[in-house]
Amino acid sequence: MKTVFNIVLTLCILALVYVCFTSIMNPIKFEEMKSVRDKAVITRLLDIRKAQAEYRNLNKGSYTESFDTLIDFVKTAKIPFIYKVGELTDKQLEDGMTEKKAMAIINKAQKTGNYKEVEKFGLENFKRDTLWKTVIDTIQFSANFTVDSMRYIPYGNGAQFEMAARNDTAKSGAPIFMYEVKAPYDVYLNGLDKQEIVNLKDVQNKLGKYQGLMIGSIESPNNGAGNWE
């Protein structure tokens, strides 16, 4: 009888140890896996932010709410890139020379074949050309960036980011352009400990914060800031 009691007691102790161990390790393991997934989602959100910023530059300040439009923009849109050779000296600047004036003199010489003014003002080694390059070849996106995957949430099993854009007007009458891109916890943390996800969402809810990762806001302008920054 005593032997049976000792066996039962031992099993109870082992079960208790297991429960304690699990209660400690589950949150740690969850945070480790969450950190990996957070990093992947944030990296893609930052790529989207870069694309939206460049889209805004070439579209009168507005953003797009369409991934089809944004992806096509990154693939095909071209932005000006100034190729520079040489710099104006302090003496040239003091004499009133500007880059615009310098290029006007050089362009005139190229058209007429008369380079006397170019030599007179010491512009033989000065050059400014406007080159046009596609956005994808100009903007420094993350390593292994794939434009067609930009819409998809990492670890989301094919789910897409929630993207929205909104135009408003300030009291002064000035236009306000806003956008936001969201990745819910339920999507990219799917498959991890369900109770830990519930706990995480509950904390965010009590703090009045979005239950996931996001950039921008269509409620108030924030220049595409991330809610983790």
Q: pLDDT, tens digit, for every residue of 164-199?
A: 999 988 888 889 999 999 999 999 999 999 999 999
Average of pLDDT values for 57-77? Answer: 94
The CA distance from 7 to 226, in Å, is: 55
Place of tokens 């400990």: 193
Rounded CA separation 218/64 (Å): 12
pLDDT-derived band at 126 (thresholds 50, 70, 90) equals: confident
pLDDT of amino acid 18: 44
- C-beta separation of 209 from 227 below 8 A: yes
What per-residue confidence (pLDDT) applies to 215? 98
Is the Cβ–Cβ distance between 213 and 189 less than 8 Å?
Answer: no
Give the orientation angle of helix 194-206 with respect to helix 2-58, to 10 degrees. Answer: 50
Task: Decide which of 69 and 21 is more confident.
Answer: 69
Mean per-residue pLDDT of the chain: 87
Strands (E), 35-191: 78-85, 127-134, 162-169, 175-184
Using the predicted structure, report yes or no on whether residue 132 has a pLDDT greater than 60.
yes
pLDDT over 90 percentage in the chain:
57
The SS3 of residue 182 is strand
Q: How far is CA 172 from CA 14, 128, 176, in A?
A: 70, 39, 11
Is the pLDDT higher at 69 or at 143?
Answer: 69
pLDDT in the model for residue 173: 84
Q: Please give the average per-residue pLDDT across 111-122, as a whole number.
A: 90
Count of beta carbons in the 10 Å neighbourhood of residue 55? 20
